[in-house]
Amino acid sequence: MNPLDFIIANAGSFIVGALLLGIVLAILWRMYKKHKAGNTSCGCGCTNCPSASICHKK
């Protein structure tokens, strides 16, 4: 079997996989940017949080 035939036969799977990978990478990038901006994921604030120094190193 020719490698080109394999790619053509599975093009739909490759496209869907690439789209899913792109979505996951976009979500991870957004989470990273929010973390670097100081936004928390728990939503309860950092005033009395014992782990505040771990999340927000200064």
The residue that leads in pLDDT, 53 or 44, is 53
Please report whether residue 16 resides in a domain: yes
Residue 22 lies in a domain: yes
Measured over the CA atoms of residue 15, residue 21, residue 24 and residue 28, the dihedral's sign is negative
> Is the pLDDT confidence value at 56 over 70?
no
Residue 28 lies in a domain: yes
49 burial (CB, 10 Å; 0-12 / 13-18 / 19+) is: middle
Q: Does residue 14 sit within a domain?
A: yes
Contact 22, 28 (CB under 8 A): no
pLDDT at 14: 97
The domain tally of the chain equals 1
The answer to whether residue 32 is domain-embedded is yes
Q: What domain range is 7 assigned to?
A: 3-40+50-55
45, part of any domain = no
Q: Is 11 part of a structural domain of the chain?
A: yes
Percent of the residues in the chain that have a pLDDT greater than 90, as a whole number: 50
Note the pTM of the prediction, 2 decimals. Answer: 0.62
pLDDT tens, residue by residue, 6-24? 999 999 999 999 999 999 9
Residues 45/38, Cβ–Cβ less than 8 Å: no
Q: What are the Cα distances from residue 43, in Å, to 35, 46, 57?
A: 12, 9, 18
